[in-house]
């Protein structure tokens, strides 16, 4: 299985709380919901096509609890899709059984366990949100593709997708789509790491 990140980011790399105002207020972040005004049918189609052949989701604890709580309260088809999908949840503080259906806890040596998971047959595993998890897996070269919806917006504050200390990596651009609202959906495959002296 390949691991694919599907996320919103701003021009300054912020990924924090794109969905709704109270999604993630860590650090006093007050710009939650910034991605919503730019959502259109082109974006929904692109994300749908990317996740059409999926073996499920890989979440960090905060994203898992936030997304599942929000959509189970809101209801609708996305709620049903999330509940029926397989979910792998990386956490040292949660314990099984997890709250939502089809959820499996991943703890301990996370990179080793995710590497084993990648060896299983199946379609892609998708990561949404989960910045710390992305940092961890990126450091171990375990992410195969990034599908980033890049918004023409600078927030100047917030948690970034590639924060200080991310392992230097040269990605390869595999394709782009532009929405009617000016969002560039760019697909990058994991490339090479610069050689160190």
**Mean pLDDT of all residues belonging to the chain:** 93
With beta carbons less than 8 A apart as the criterion, state whether 89 and 56 touch: no
- Name the residue among 131, 150, 136, 111 with its Cα closest to residue 24: 131
pLDDT tens-digit map of 60-110? 999 999 999 998 998 877 888 899 999 999 999 999 999 999 999 999 999
Q: What is the pLDDT of residue 85?
A: 95
Q: What φ, ψ does residue 116 adopt, rounded to 5°?
A: -65, -40
pLDDT tens digits, residue range 171-180?
Answer: 999 999 999 9
Give the pLDDT confidence score for residue 197 in this predicted structure.
46
pTM equals 0.93
Classify residue 112 as exposed, middle or buried by CB count within 10 Å of its CB (0-12, 13-18, 19+): exposed
As a whole number of angstroms, the distance between CA 78 and CA 66 comes to 14
Who has greater pLDDT, 75 or 157? 157
Q: CA of 177: how far to CAs of 2, 29, 88, 181, in Å?
A: 22, 29, 29, 12
């Amino acid at each position: 299985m390949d691991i694919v990140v599907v996320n919103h980011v701003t021009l300054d790399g912020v990924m924090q709380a794109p969905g709704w105002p109270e999604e993630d207020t860590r650090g006093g972040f007050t710009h939650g919901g910034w991605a919503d005004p730019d959502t259109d049918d082109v974006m929904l189609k692109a994300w749908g096509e990317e996740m059409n052949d999926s073996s499920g989701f890989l979440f960090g604890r905060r994203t898992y609890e936030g997304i599942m709580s929000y959509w189970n309260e809101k209801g609708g088809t996305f709620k049903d899709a999330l509940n029926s999908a397989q979910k792998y949840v990386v956490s040292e503080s949660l314990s099984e059984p997890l709250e939502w259906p089809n959820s499996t806890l991943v703890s301990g040596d996370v990179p080793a366990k995710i590497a084993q998971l990648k060896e299983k047959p199946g379609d892609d595993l998708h990561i949404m949100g989960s910045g710390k998890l992305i940092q961890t897996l990126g450091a171990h070269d375990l992410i195969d593709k990034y599908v980033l919806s890049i918004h023409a917006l600078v927030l100047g504050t917030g948690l970034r997708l590639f924060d200080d200390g991310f392992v230097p990596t040269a990605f390869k651009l595999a394709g782009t789509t532009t929405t009617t609202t000016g969002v560039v959906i760019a697909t990058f495959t994991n490339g090479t790491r610069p050689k160190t002296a």
